[in-house]
Amino acid sequence: MKPKVLIVDDDEAIRTQMKWALSQDYEVHFAENRRGALEAFEADPPAVTLLDLGLPPRPNECDEGLAVLSDLLAVDSTAKIIIISGQGEKRNAIEAVGAGAYDFLCKPVEMEELRLLLQRCIHVVELEKEYRELQQRQLSDVFEDMLGTSPQMQAVFAFIRKVAGTNAPVLLLGESGTGKEMAAAAIHRRSARKDGPFVAINCNAIPENLLESELFGHEKGAFTGAHIQRKGMMETASGGTLFLDEIGELPPAIQVKLLRFLQEQRFQRVGGRQEIQIDTRLVAATNADLKQLIENGKFREDLYFRLAVVTIRLLPLRERGEDIVFLAREFLQRYATQSGRTKLVFAPDALRAMPRYSWPGNVRELQNRVKRGVIMASGSRVTAKDLELDQDVVSSSATTLRQAREHVEREMIEQALKRNSGKITSAAADLGISRPTLYELMEKLGIAKERANTNIE
């Protein structure tokens, strides 16, 4: 198949010229304005986009072309976009390259130069695609459902690889929803115990009077209702891995019994006298501060040191940088495919909102919001509103400095627009910034463009 090239230009003569020059080697598509460019880009992403900076409704200025560049890169930060500009716009073209464009050409375009630039660009696209596929295969092969390309998560994966081959107890620390059970399962799958059972139990989900029996089993007649002998989770996991989630919720009596097991690999069933020896690896997890619980006398210090032979801290999603959008796109692809809506993509406002939100529910919350977005999306794009990440729900836990800065920026822009009767150019000059910067700030802060009377200019 021929590589697809999208040409965004409102000049019909230039579009015809480029189609004649390129159609033999490329599948050429066109758009004449910002909306058409975004729709064409999202419907069937091109290998390369040729973008004219001067687009309607202001073809003699560059702000609309720069806005298109920003929109396309918000949809795909790796998109290859070549700027086509007039000689007088060269400074803006260089600015566009700084903002993420691949390269630029000045009008009138030399077709041979354009062909060479396209060939080089397509080659880079193919190399990047091969690299991403290889990287994804490696991630999937090593950690299955554990996803993450950020340096922070790569460090976690490297740590898991090191400890998986040992029999040492592992303590996983992290907020709710950070993937502690997935990490425990990954440790099990990468260990010599992978053919044995992986048994998970949430210590906070079982009533205290039943928890000891669930963990260690009981003998017949040990208590009312114990009509038969029953193995506990500890024995069920023999030859494999037992994952104890919310370990900080263990009652003191069970902490003592678990400590003895870690010391001697022996225990007794409830109501039993016979020592049972098993070969079970223990992986524990908590979102509580165990050291604080120790200080408060609620958790045994000796048990803590037995559990924390190896400690792995799983970072909250808000500290994982680029992983937020990476994971969101993975979940979108998964849920959109399940719903038969394979062409769904995130709208630019959603891609901007996600990194600004604090994600108190971490990866689990991200999954649920993306799933909701797939259901609520009315067109081909999942918006910030579909994810419930519009301005009304942006995290209240954002830093005070950020909140204050955004509040001041919003107030100053709205006042400048009011003073200048909605004229963008005048308001930008009043604020001491460029028109494109003002547009970008208005979009980031959710200031409706209807407040700006662009028809006056």
Tens-digit pLDDT profile for residues 187-216 = 999 999 999 999 999 998 888 888 888 899
pLDDT of residue 169: 95
Contact 120, 103 (CB under 8 A): no
The residues of the chain that CATH labels 3.40.50.300 are: 151-315
The residues of the chain that CATH labels 3.40.50.2300 are: 4-134
pLDDT of residue 430: 76
Reply yes or no on domain 4-134 having CATH 3.40.50.10490: no
Which has the minimum average pLDDT: 32-36, 90-94, 370-374? 90-94
Instruction: Find tokens 């069937």 and name the residue.
Output: 44
Q: How confident is the model at residue 302 (pLDDT cuts 50, 70, 90)?
A: very high
C-alpha atoms less than 13 angstroms from C-alpha of 403 in its C-beta half-sphere: 9
pLDDT, mean of residues 332-361 = 89
pLDDT, mean of residues 158-182 = 92
Residue type, 385: K
pLDDT, mean of residues 151-156 = 86
Biggest CA-to-CA distance, the chain: 93
Give dist(CA 191, CA 96) in Å, integer.
Answer: 49
pLDDT of residue 143: 61
Which comes out higher in pLDDT, residue 397 or 322? 322
pLDDT of residue 75: 86
Q: Which CATH number fits domain 151-315: 3.10.20.30, 3.90.1150.10, 3.40.109.10, 3.40.50.300?
A: 3.40.50.300
The residues of the chain that CATH labels 1.10.8.60 are: 318-393
pLDDT of residue 162: 92
Tell me whether strands 81-85 and 345-346 are parallel, antiparallel or unpaired: unpaired
Q: How confident is the model at residue 397 (pLDDT cuts 50, 70, 90)?
A: very low
pLDDT of residue 141: 43
With 80 as the cut, is the pLDDT of residue 97 above it?
Answer: yes
| CATH code of the domain occupying 400-456 | 1.10.10
Give dist(CA 447, CA 89) in Å, integer.
Answer: 28
Which comes out higher in pLDDT, residue 441 or 35? 35
Give dist(CA 96, CA 73) in Å, integer.
Answer: 11
Tell me whether strands 198-202 and 241-245 are parallel, antiparallel or unpaired: parallel
Q: How confident is the model at residue 303 (pLDDT cuts 50, 70, 90)?
A: very high
pLDDT digits (tens, 9 = 90+) for 263-280: 988 888 888 888 888 999
pLDDT of residue 142: 44
pLDDT of residue 392: 40
- Least Cα distance to 150 among 330, 325, 411 occurs for 325
pLDDT of residue 371: 95
Which comes out higher in pLDDT, residue 102 or 322? 102
Q: How confident is the model at residue 380 (pLDDT cuts 50, 70, 90)?
A: confident
CA distances (Å), origin 441, targets 98, 177, 203, 402, 410: 18, 33, 48, 14, 8
Assigned CATH topology for domain 318-393: Helicase, Ruva Protein; domain 3 (1.10.8)
With 70 as the cut, is the pLDDT of residue 135 above it?
Answer: no
CA torsion sign for 365, 371, 372, 373 is positive
- Transcribe 279-348 into DSSP letters: --EEEEEESS-HHHHHHTTSS-HHHHHHHTTEEEEPPPGGGSTTHHHHHHHHHHHHHHHHTT-TT-EE-H
Contact 85, 41 (CB under 8 A): no
- Transcribe 413-452 into DSSP letters: HHHHHHHTTT-HHHHHHHHTS-HHHHHHHHHHHT--GGGS
pLDDT, mean of residues 420-442 = 78
With 50 as the cut, is the pLDDT of residue 395 above it?
Answer: no
pLDDT of residue 120: 92
The residues of the chain that CATH labels 1.10.10 are: 400-456
